[in-house]
Amino acid sequence: MSTYNCSFSSRERELEPYADVAGPGVLAGYLGTAWICVVLVIVHYLLIFDPEQDPFQEEGLPGAGNNNRHWTANPIDALFKIMFERVSLSFSTVGQVPALQWMRRNPRLQAAFNKAILAMCDIQIVTGLGILVSGYADLKSGISAYHFLLVGLVAWFSNLTHIAGLTVLRHYLHRRPSQKWIRLSLMIILSVMLLTAMGPTVFFNWPVWESLSETAGEEEKRFQGSAGLPGSYAICFFNARRAIQWHYSDTEVKLEASPSFQSVLISMLLLVFSLASRTIKLQSTLSSAVKKTRGYFSNRYKAYIRRCFCIEPSFRRRKPRSRSTQFMRTIFCTQMTNLLVIRIYTDLLVSTLSDIYWLLISAIWGTIKLFLVKQSVVIEEDSWAFGQILPAFLLLAPLLTTMEIFTELRRGTDTSASQPDTSPGDNSPAGKMYLQKLADSSKLYKATSIATTTITKLAFGFSQP
């Protein structure tokens, strides 16, 4: 490729094919691996994940006997698992044990899931760093804005795959601190490089043109505007002052109002949120600190409610139908509603179900952006050369390791069928106790009973928070 030229006239240079970045093999390898990992993470959450299990338990590690850590299941996860388990309870069993309970207790199946997800994470974190390093190295060689944008999108899926793996490997990595820190460090490096690569793409607004109707006139397309065009040299847009001048020479729309700027902003927020969430959840100290902080503010708010309704000692002896009593009860119920809503949203935000949801949103978002960019230009770079075949073969590795899950599942099923069943079924006392234990952790969300109980305690008992 030729060297770059950052004159204004070079914006409209002809786009040259670069199949090593935009070819079908490269895109299939990264996109396919990312989606396989997303599906595995979702299946792991539905079948294997146990909200009652402490991911930071020290069992089997030195000094485990001194661990007094108390773990409380997230009510959102517990409630969702109860609903899913009861729906699926009538569909499948292994022997006399509900299939979901059997899968959660099968260490061989859990190990197979961990191995498959780890294989994909290891491949993607290395190849993601590799393609970003290659993209940065090609900047001075004149890589186009179109191909550099694809480099960032492909690296997005590498980062997504690694984050997806860390969602379900908290316990595995906690028992292997060296692996945890290596993967966390690589994830941070990849995220920083990816955020840097996203910066210049705020000026790449040309994919919006193709999303407009064919009847859209040149005036409407000019209103959208784009500082960068597909054939523009990507390195020119690392100079923010130059890129901003080019933007306003092509449109009167403010940069922050352009679709490309808003799209990149959403991508950055998703990336930063995912990185911060996984970093906190991988560290027992940070996770505990967040819980303590939340408990502190929750107790302070409950104490505030208590003080508001303990100012007048005769509050509990007032006539129930008096206007003052009804007014105080209205304020009291409003404050309790605020507390419950805040707790529900906080539980939802820190739940594993929320991680799965945002993981799926990130995968869909990246896929839509990738195909939108690919459809924005017409260029012949679909040949299957060396640079296409190798990434496609990389897709075989996670596929082969994923097949091991089904092998382990069948082997574990045969083993459990040949052994007497000692596990609690759903109709046994132990099985009922198991379901009841999960149900107890979700009582917060039975709004009527909680509100009644809390109001009674605060209005009449005033027990300690």
| Structure confidence by residue, pLDDT tens digits, 293-303 | 888 888 888 88
The span from the CA of 11 to the CA of 236, in Å, is 9
| Residue 218, domain member (yes or no) | no
Answer left, alpha or beta for residue 63, where phi above 0 means left and psi between -120 and 50 means alpha.
left
Check: CB of residue 348 under 8 Å from CB of residue 79. Answer: no
Amino acid at 199: G
Question: Which domain, by its residues, includes 448?
Answer: 18-62+69-211+261-461
DSSP 8-state secondary structure symbol assigned to residue 144 = B
How many domains does the chain contain in total? 1
With a cut of 50, say whether residue 149 has pLDDT above it.
yes
In a domain, 86, yes or no: yes
Question: Which pLDDT belongs to residue 136?
Answer: 93
Least confident stretch, 173-187, 406-420, 424-438? 424-438
Return the percent helix, strand and coil in the chain, to nearest 5.
Answer: 75, 0, 25
Give CA–CA dist 279/387, Å, rounded: 34
Least confident of 65-79, 144-158, 349-363: 65-79
> Which pLDDT band, with edges at 50, 70 and 90, does 304 fall under?
confident
Q: What is the pLDDT of residues 306-341, one digit of tens each?
A: 776 665 445 555 555 667 667 777 777 788 888 888
252 part of a folded domain = no
Share of the chain above pLDDT 70, in %: 69
Question: CB 77: neighbour CB atoms within 10 A?
Answer: 26
* Interval 435-444 mean pLDDT: 42
For residue 13, being part of any structural domain is answered with no
Contacts 24+ apart (CB under 8 A), 268-272: 268/195, 268/198, 270/358, 270/361, 270/362, 270/365, 271/156, 271/159, 271/191, 271/194, 271/195, 272/191, 272/195
Position 198 scores a pLDDT of 92
Q: Which residue has the higher pLDDT, 217 or 142?
A: 142
Whether 113 and 48 have beta carbons less than 8 Å apart is answered as: yes
Query: 393 or 81, which is more confident?
Result: 81
Phi, psi of 96 (to 5 degrees): -110, 10
Whole-angstrom CA distances from 398 to 37, 127, 307, 374 are: 8, 14, 58, 25
Q: Residues 6 or more apart from 290 whose CB is under 8 A from it?
A: 280, 350
Per the prediction, the chain carries an average pLDDT of 74
Q: Which residues contact 69 (CB under 8 A, 6 or more apart)?
A: 54, 56, 57, 58, 284
Q: How confident is the model at residue 70 (pLDDT cuts 50, 70, 90)?
A: low
Contact 242, 236 (CB under 8 A): yes
The first and second tokens of residue 241, run together, are 């002052």
253 three-class SS: coil
> What would the 3-class secondary structure string for 147-213 be?
HHHHHHHHHHHHHHHHHHHHHHCHHHHHCCHHHHHHHHHHHHHHHHHHHHHHHHHHHCCCHHHHHCC
pLDDT for res 194: 93
C-alpha closest to that of 332 among 446, 443, 457: 457
Q: What is the pLDDT of residue 437?
A: 42
**Residue indicated by tokens 């004149």:** 142
Kindly tell me if the per-residue pLDDT of 405 is higher than 80: no
Q: Quickly list H helices, 59-98.
A: 75-88
Of 219 and 271, the structure prediction assigns the larger pLDDT to 271
Residue 134 covered by a domain: yes
Percent of the chain with pLDDT over 90: 6
Is residue 236 one of the residues assigned to a domain?
A: no
For the segment 43-49, the average pLDDT, to the nearest whole number, is 85
What are the helix and strand counts (H, E) for the chain? 19, 2
Confirm whether 363 is domain-assigned: yes
DSSP 322-369: SHHHHHHHHHHHHHHHHHHHHHHHHHHHHSHHHHHHHHHHHHHHHHHH
Say whether pLDDT at 66 is over 60: no
Element (H, E) at 438: helix 429-441
Give residue 386's pLDDT: 67
Q: In sequence order, which residues have a C-beta less than 8 Å from that of residue 100 and are 6 or more positions away?
A: 47, 84, 85, 88, 89
Residue 232 lies in a domain: no
